[in-house]
A and B are shown apart, each in its own frame.
Chain A
């Protein structure tokens, strides 16, 4: 489904990713763990097409499409979703208007008609209710004045509405209390399906208690240094990155 081969990425002339190979099949949940500065966020941005993340070597293919030839919005329309570590505040744009524009942009890309307003409203309300978001928040400006937990919940609502085939969640768990963490985990678990795949990027093992991954990879200095199943995450939790010979403070 998602195939990353020998991926090298530079940011502002600095080599960050130095040859990543990763294949995520339909129905699988993968977790990438690693210390700060290992290139975790860079990997998520490279997959989703952020400007300034220059792929100097290698490839990213999703459902047979060469992602490197697509703009960020085209990758989203093909089914990729990025859950942000720091969701952006957008004053003056209501959540509802933002979601409607997003849904219809993707439909436009696919050559489909816009969603009927009533149908859209029903969809958004249903997803907000499932994730226990106060419907009033849908009227508010995107993420403006939201607490950390509310912002992450908002990411989960967006993901649920857009219903992506492949989701990358970039440290979605950082800075959350246990209740907010459960909301995020619930949002991710709702996306689990035989035809969908998920990549969870996290610094801590904590989230993986709730979202149990099929595979765990350890990223250090721009490379995957170890892969395993969920027991690898537990091993890291107990023994730390140092145990694998990784300098925790490399950044």
Chain B
């Protein structure tokens, strides 16, 4: 079965050559082989089209006529770029600051703080400094999607975070991805790896930001391992420019007694697509996914989750809220798979959407594939409008209509960020949501 769409491989021949040497400065044979193999695998399938169920709400046809080539190096830093980095940076967080400009790690903007048991570096540095390990790591990814293959073929950088066993990182790591004007008509592809070893814990705050009126394609693929009894929390915000296509695909292996939490807020970009695919493969693993997406004026946000319960007695909980104003569109697709042996699974999923205007669209599609017979699986999906009675109640107390709406919308999404453990991150989420409403 092929779903060839929009792209043929030959248009990428030149890009592949560029990708061979541009990021690391020199050709590396084993890496080139991985790139070539991945490209072949991508060309075999092509871009997913609307007939692929997982992509039915995402229209990639606007990408048809565009190449989105590989960018050889990051653009110059200007005042505008520096200002949005400052905006995104939380200065009360004392951990490392990692900045990517146009998909390339920028050492001069980053502050890597040495901490016992933490390895934190860019993918290119990792490839250059430890050839053998890097090869193993890059070959270890078990991507199946054609877009993940395209990413492996053409990625230009990324990050590697490894936390050794029995290490609790004292401060969260902040990662800021910025796309500037040089990335116009280019694709920015990063490949990232996070490994939190046995009995360790880490927090990562990741922001995706960009300037307006730049037609680019940001595509990140991240492979995560949360090992036995380890804890990983990720806090993402996406505020890309208004012409950006933003895609993030994250695969997470969750081991025995491990705990993975993923928070996200999607506000920017022309089209955003967030894919989160946790695999619970150890007893008593826990996954919490929390996210909100706010769209208007041609924004479209897609969230696709695929929760795989492969072993018994694991828990997963998903809470997603969408708010769509005039011209906004969203799709939430939440797949939960419970294998035959995964008895006593407890899997919950909730997606509620609020339409603030008649010209707004929210799609919600829970999909439960349950092959075990002794499980608790709950899901709920709603699409509604603001409660007129509540609005009048607030107005009757003196609140202006706009303030009343803001209060209700804020309350609607607040649940998503209730458990955020870092106060400044929680405040950032709510602040961004408030700013979107105003």
Chain A residues whose CB sits within 8 angstroms of the CB of B399 once the complex forms: 73, 101-102, 105
| Segment touching A, from B53-61, B193-201, B246-254, B385-393 | B385-393
CB atoms of A51 and B388 under 8 A apart: yes
* A109 and B398 contact, CB distance less than 8 A: yes
Determine if A82 and B396 form an interchain contact, defined as CB atoms under 8 angstroms apart: yes
Q: Is A38 an interface residue (CB 8 A)?
A: no
Closest residue on chain A to residue B413 by CB atoms: A92
In the complex, the chain A residue whose C-beta lies closest to that of B411 is A92
Contact call B398/A88, Cβ cutoff below 8 A:
no
Q: Would A72 and B392 be within 8 Å (CB), given that A105-B400, A106-B398 are in contact?
A: yes
Count CB-based A-B contacts (< 8 Å). Answer: 74
B7 interfacial by beta-carbon distance below 8 Å: no
Mark each residue of chain A from 74 to 104: 1 if its CB lies under 8 Å from any CB of chain B, else 0: 0011000110100110111100011001110
Given contacts A50-B392, A90-B411, A93-B411, A71 and B398 within 8 Å (CB-CB): no
Interface size counted on chain A using CB atoms at 8 A: 30
- In the complex, are the beta carbons of B407 and A101 less than 8 A apart? yes
**Residues of B in contact, count (CB < 8 Å):** 23
Whether the Cβ atoms of A48 and B396 lie closer than 8 Å is yes
Does any Cβ of A come within 8 Å of B68's Cβ? no
Q: Is B397 an interface residue (CB 8 A)?
A: yes
Residues of chain B lying within 8 A (CB to CB) of residue A48: 396
B407-421 to A contact mask, C-beta < 8 Å, 1/0: 110111011000000
B366-391 vs A, CB cutoff 8 Å, 1 = contact: the mask equals 00000000000000000000011110
A71 CB contacts on chain B under 8 angstroms:
395, 401
A162 to chain B minimum Cβ distance, whole angstroms, is: 7
Q: Is A172 an interface residue (CB 8 A)?
A: no
CA distance A103 to B399 in the complex (A): 9
Report which of A50, A92, A105, A158 forms a contact with B414, defined as CB distance below 8 A: A92
* CB-based nearest A residue for B412: A92
- List the 9 closest pairs (A to B, CB-CB), nearest first: A92-B411, A72-B395, A76-B398, A106-B398, A102-B397, A88-B393, A105-B398, A73-B395, A93-B411
Q: List 27 A-B contacts (CB under 8 A).
A: A49-B396, A50-B392, A50-B396, A71-B395, A72-B395, A72-B396, A73-B395, A73-B398, A73-B399, A73-B401, A81-B396, A84-B396, A88-B387, A88-B390, A90-B407, A92-B414, A93-B410, A93-B411, A101-B403, A102-B397, A102-B398, A103-B398, A105-B399, A105-B400, A141-B411, A158-B397, A162-B398
Beyond the given pairs A48-B396, A92-B410, A106-B398, 5 more chain A to chain B contacts, judged by CB atoms under 8 angstroms and listed by A's residue number, are A76-B396, A88-B389, A88-B390, A90-B390, A90-B407
Binding site for A on B (CB under 8 A): 387-390, 392-401, 403-404, 407-408, 410-412, 414-415
On A, residues with C-beta under 8 Å from B are 48-51, 71-73, 76-77, 81-82, 84, 87-88, 90-93, 97-98, 101-103, 105-106, 108-109, 141, 158, 162
